[in-house]
Structure 1
């Protein structure tokens, strides 16, 4: 590598090293704002005007190539988890609509019912499997935040505007 190229490369690397802590601190600050706003429950972040800028910035950034969720290391949390579906009602089990094709989503609630007339017992040919769509969560994202006493609190939120 010739001297001018080496010098320019060194300058670029020095500048990158110089600005990285500031960028990391800024990203951490944004991540903590997102965590604080996402954890707001009454009202949700949409009802807190100060939360609009960091959350709208997040929603916009999510659609861009190379998106990385802003984190808040000071709070001990990483990126949130996502769970699209509510639990099935009591007495129902989780089912998969596309199970025959090698997988699928856990998007059904199923229940096996005995359809035999009274007194005929539980014969196998009297069983019917009933399904219904599994309810979607209104707030599908969540953070688990550990309190000072070690307890974990789950904070659910949505990214709908």
Structure 2
């Protein structure tokens, strides 16, 4: 809430317009617009010029993020994937593939053994089954009541972020944003 108030105050007192700005000023405009929430930068008309400019600039060779030394921010961070559900952990790439796209899947170990009885079919080690909801189970050895489940990790709708330190309390807050028009 404090940062939203700071954004509105800064915009009001600096006469935030679409006039040409030097690199540092542009970087601060990008930082403030990216940190805007409720509405996001797309809902703030004065944020369209600096954000459109950065989106266009990203497509050009040699692009580097505009910085805002006054705001303590340089290039934003980027995390393509969201958190795994509770009880699941991020893991590398697709099953059985040598190509890894980072920690793009979630996994969890499951043990449903009761009195040494197998719960599922044959005792073939490494047997794999995919359920209707996209969860793949890989059974462990002869004990098919122990298995590991894998599923796609959710994508973030806003994968870019800036970490901004609040000078009043010293806390760092993360502001997520996307660059889709």
Task: Report the structure number with the largest CA radius of gyration.
Answer: 1
Whole-Å separation in 2 of the counterparts to 1:93 and 1:41: 29
Structure 2 residue 159 is the aligned partner of structure 1 residue 140: yes
Report if aligned partners of 2:81, 2:155 keep a CA contact under 8 Å in 1: yes
Distance between the aligned counterparts of 1:88 and 1:61, measured in 2?
33
- Comparing both structures, which one devotes a greater share of its residues to helix? 1
1:68 partner SS: coil
1:58 corresponds to:
54
- Once residues 105 and 160 of structure 2 are traced to their aligned partners in structure 1, the CA distance between those partners, rounded to angstroms, is 20
CA separation of 1:120 and 1:34: change in aligned 2, threshold 3 A: same
How far apart, in 2, do the equivalents of 1:72 and 1:138 lie? Answer: 24
Compute the RMSD of aligned alpha carbons: 2.1
Hey, what's the Cα distance between the residues in 2 that align with 1:43 and 1:146?
21
> Where does residue 11 of structure 1 map in the other structure?
none
Structure 2: 5+ residue runs without aligned partners?
1-20, 119-139
CA shift at 1:101, angstroms? 2.5
What is the number of residues matched between the two proteins?
136
Of 100-109 and 35-44, more deviation after overlay is shown by 100-109
Please list, as runs of the form range in 1=range in 2, the aligned pairs for 1:1-161 lying within 5 A after superposition: 26-98=22-94, 101=98, 103-116=100-113, 118-120=114-116, 125=143, 126-148=145-167, 149-161=169-181
Q: TM-score, normalised by structure 1?
A: 0.77
Task: State the TM-score, normalizing by the size of structure 2.
Answer: 0.69
Secondary structure at 2:175 match in 1: strand
Gaps of 5+ in 1: 1-24
